[in-house]
Structure 1
Amino acid sequence: MSSSLAAPAGAAIANPRSRVILASLIGTTIEFYDFYVYATAAVLVFPHLFFPSGNDTTALLASFAVFGAAMVARPLGAIFFGHLGDRRGRKVTLVGALLTMGIATFLIGALPTYEQVGWLAPALLVILRLAQGFALGGEWSGAALVATENAPAGKRALFGTFPQLGAPLGFILANGLFLLIAAGLPSSDPSRPSDAFLQWGWRIPFLFSVVMVVVGLWVRLNLVESEAFKKTVKAGKVHSVPLFSVFRTHTRQLVLGTFYMLATYVLFYLMTTFSLSYGRAAATAKLPGLGYDYTTFVLMMIFGVVFFGIFTMLSGPWADRWGRRRTLICVTSAIIVFGLAWVPILASGPVGVMAWLIVGFSLMGMTFGPMGALLPELFPASVRYTGSGISYNVSSILGAAVAPFIAVALWAWGGGSPFWVGVYLSAMAVLTLIALLLGTETRDVDMEA
């Protein structure tokens, strides 16, 4: 058993709170920026450029299928990076995950299109999308561990919200940049980006990610290991294969953690990916939607995401005060009601659409925020990176990988009504609620055990 540590095992914690916050926040912001850049392009660009033309719905579904492919790679990334994180330390693992994501995102921006190289174009897109998912599989749990293992007493959920805050910040950065490019390269057809945007404009956000990665690397290379990991090494508790150990001793926690995240993931990708398709589709289209132009609807989404960020931060103190379980039971119950109320809310005109986005993103913040503390608290330090990563990312397959695809299918099946999409969200939230009722409170667990 060995480990490369940045400081002697007996040294005091050397990470200032500001560095902990910045390191956990900036990495996930970059990772989610990269993911959102792809999600936006999956709606606006890839159906036009990377798949055969002829059927717009089929092309959109194919684009979403590639989007979902990354979720399949995420558990593999969680296993790989979790193994490194539990054996070699959090710092080196986080650097590796960030580099992998950054390189894959940059290369997507340089890909040839279907018109240029045929089926090689979507094949390369799938490979790089898998690399993105593989990297994100190791990113989140590492960032959450940096935040929670270095948190002051009684504020673990608050500190755990900083890596979660990377999701709304990454969304605003990614969609804000796409919005600026679209404004600079306007289209005369609101249902389709301009020729200049499709030729080269869409590549800018992907290529720009390299700048953000450099900043993230600089911050993370200045981290040192947490006391929890150092004590694990000193006590000789590092497992040779953490994956085997966590499945052997913490199977129940793995299953519960996976279902804790299910409603969060489904809501997350319905509000960020499906909503963009539904909001932009014309009311008279074969698959009717709300009929907003791209710029208007993205601005509405960005306004909603501001509430995502606000309630992510508020959820931390709530979970510290009332407990993770009680807080999430209340929020998940609200998600069930929200899913069943989609049709009457959306039928209320522009005010209803804006209310739908605000309520959806607010609930997203309230359910996503406490997960930064809850999932790591389910596992001891010796298998924490692997355990929390597997739960988080297996849930991505059950929730996020299929959510956009199922949503479009239900949207079509319902003749353009979002009713069944909302019912799908409620059904997934019921499964999360059951898991929470079966689980126990983790607020007072010892993170150094």
Structure 2
Amino acid sequence: MNPAIDDRADSAEVRGRRATRGAAIGFAIDCYDIYLPVIALAPALHFFMAQDVSAGTIALINGLVFAATLLGRPLGAFIFGNIADTAGRRKATLIAMYGSAVGTLLLAFVPGYATIGLASIGTLIVLRFVTGIFLGGQYTGAVPLAMESSPIAKRGLYGGLITMGFPIAFCIVSLFTYVLLTATGGAGNGDGTSVYEVWAWRIPVVIGAVVTFAFAVYYGRTVQESPAFLTADARTPAVKKENPAKQLLRGSSAKSLRQVLVLMSGVWILSNATSASFPITLRSLDGISPQRGTAIIVVAQLFLIAAYPLAGALSQRIGRRIFLAWCGGVGAVVAPMFYLAIVSGVATSFIGLAALTTGLVLTSICCFGCTAAYISERFRTELRATGYGIGYSFAIIIPAFYAFYERGLATFMDPDHTTVVLYVIGGLLLLVGALWGPETKNVDLSPDAATNKVAEDVK
């Protein structure tokens, strides 16, 4: 029996659990790979550069390495979205998984500046971009497959379980980095010759590659193709099939895409404010060492692990539209209050700062708990993977330059308060995007409804 096409042996509930488990682990691996350069590789960047580079140049290079991964994801979403909508979600996901495993493994073999000069950092950036393409394709196929395989009543919960991979990955990479830095005596004096800078950073990279490859094998053996895709594919004659990306740019699909891009731009601005900008501000406060700052953020991320499935389940109960609109309002109004309380020194103890940081994290990025389900519900079956991938990934581009926006704002306001502007703008975009779109929680993604009404048609 071919598990890719014969799905009759297992119940819909079993298929849904397997697909959700596959998407959740895959998303965690995706986030793990994204956090590698931000957390694990950052202390070793001197290994790839000359010893006399300035701190500003190091910060710029670190930003470029991170941006290369993010900018590769939209291209991967476009490429693999088309594959997923024409050849199958499962096939696209497997290709992307094996590709990301190879790209991550190659990263571990990049020689340092002392060996190949400037080509070292150039190779690093190119590899991160190429790996980003495969990472963008990984969730583009896996998430729609999981949502199509999930029971309607549990789709919100399953979507939240998938999104748990984000904080889980953050905690794992942070733990690896902390243990390795402690075991090897730290990153040294920044001359690129310490044990961590030369080889220890490669350990979490190799582990990530091996885990990705092993999971790809597991995914291929246990996860079946989406029944909704198989039904829609069988009903659409090959001669009439059209490029999904082209279909996405016209009619009601184009309207759905515009709305999702606005909503997700708000989500990503909120996310970058909390996950990228805030940690730097936190570690710059008096009495906050890098280790203490990381520990505070990890505590907040642990609460987020529990919050995501609860957020997804809540969106299933009250509706995605209402839930996301509330998240937008809370992100614009309440999150800045937590942020200002932290930078103003309202609390200085570890427990106090951890509590305020947890409040900031929960009020700003809990919205991710239902995005997997919501975006999947906004596009019909033939376009779902492409719509999900483009809507999720292309919205990253403008928010990715948050550091430049904050630098500009800092010319006429307190630099510590520029992040507040990001929270307000991100929250308002999320609020507007949510109210612009329809309610989607009862949209049927089952095979019988694959070619019928979807969220595009719900008024």
Using the size of structure 1 for normalisation, the TM-score is 0.89
Shift in CA distance, 279/365, structure 1 to aligned 2, threshold 3 Å: closer
The alpha carbon displacement at 1:416 in A equals 7.3
Aligned to 2:454: none
Shift in CA distance, 275/49, structure 1 to aligned 2, threshold 3 Å: farther
The alpha carbon displacement at 1:411 in A equals 8.4
Aligned to 2:129: 130
1:309 aligns with 2:305: yes
SS at match of 1:379: coil
The alpha carbon displacement at 1:8 in A equals 4.4
The alpha carbon displacement at 1:422 in A equals 2.0
**Amino acid across the alignment from 1:54:** V
Aligned to 2:272: 269
**Amino acid across the alignment from 1:359:** G
**Amino acid across the alignment from 2:326:** C
The alpha carbon displacement at 1:374 in A equals 0.4
Distance in 2 between residues matched to 1:235 and 1:31, nearest whole Å: 33
Aligned to 1:227: 227
Aligned partners of 1:157 and 1:373 also within 8 Å? yes
Distance in 1 between residues matched to 2:281 and 2:57, nearest whole Å: 15
Aligned to 1:375: 375
Shift in CA distance, 181/414, structure 1 to aligned 2, threshold 3 Å: farther
SS at match of 2:75: helix
1:40 aligns with 2:36: no
SS at match of 1:261: helix
Aligned partners of 1:414 and 1:420 also within 8 Å? no
The alpha carbon displacement at 1:339 in A equals 4.8
Aligned to 1:387: 387
Aligned to 1:419: 417
Shift in CA distance, 190/179, structure 1 to aligned 2, threshold 3 Å: farther
Deviation per residue, 1:283-335 (Å, 9 max, x gap): xxxxxx45533322222111110111111111111000000010011111111
SS at match of 1:134: helix
**Amino acid across the alignment from 1:64:** G
Aligned partners of 1:20 and 1:147 also within 8 Å? yes
Deviation per residue, 1:155-198 (Å, 9 max, x gap): 11111122211111111111111111112123497999992222
Aligned to 1:146: 145
Deviation per residue, 1:233-285 (Å, 9 max, x gap): 1211673311111112311111111121123222323333333433334xxxx
Shift in CA distance, 145/376, structure 1 to aligned 2, threshold 3 Å: same
1:103 aligns with 2:99: no
**Amino acid across the alignment from 2:177:** F
The structure 1 residue matched to 2:262, chosen from 259, 263, 268, is: 259
The structure 1 residue matched to 2:340, chosen from 320, 340, 343, is: 343
Shift in CA distance, 169/194, structure 1 to aligned 2, threshold 3 Å: farther
Deviation per residue, 1:70-109 (Å, 9 max, x gap): 2222221111101110111111111111122222222222
Shift in CA distance, 59/372, structure 1 to aligned 2, threshold 3 Å: same
The alpha carbon displacement at 1:11 in A equals 7.8
Unaligned runs of 5+ in 2: 451-459
Within 5 Å, which residues of 2 pair with 1:175-190? 175-187=174-186
Shift in CA distance, 263/357, structure 1 to aligned 2, threshold 3 Å: farther
SS at match of 2:321: helix
Aligned partners of 2:144 and 2:388 also within 8 Å? no
Aligned partners of 2:20 and 2:147 also within 8 Å? no
The structure 2 residue matched to 1:328, chosen from 324, 336, 340, is: 324
1:444 aligns with 2:447: no
Aligned partners of 1:101 and 1:135 also within 8 Å? yes
The alpha carbon displacement at 1:143 in A equals 2.4
- RMSD, matched Cα: 2.7
The alpha carbon displacement at 1:128 in A equals 1.0
Aligned residues: 437
Aligned partners of 1:265 and 1:395 also within 8 Å? yes
Deviation per residue, 1:341-374 (Å, 9 max, x gap): 3233322243453234212322355210100100
Unaligned runs of 5+ in 1: 282-288
Distance in 2 between residues matched to 1:197 and 1:300, nearest whole Å: 24
Using the size of structure 2 for normalisation, the TM-score is 0.87
Distance in 2 between residues matched to 1:109 and 1:411, nearest whole Å: 38
**Amino acid across the alignment from 2:340:** V
Aligned to 1:28: 27
Shift in CA distance, 203/406, structure 1 to aligned 2, threshold 3 Å: farther
Q: Percentage identity across aligned positions?
A: 24
SS at match of 1:174: helix
Aligned to 1:286: none
Distance in 2 between residues matched to 1:430 and 1:49, nearest whole Å: 40
Aligned partners of 2:76 and 2:137 also within 8 Å? yes
Aligned partners of 1:9 and 1:230 also within 8 Å? no
Aligned to 1:285: none
Shift in CA distance, 47/333, structure 1 to aligned 2, threshold 3 Å: farther
Shift in CA distance, 371/47, structure 1 to aligned 2, threshold 3 Å: farther
The alpha carbon displacement at 1:404 in A equals 4.5
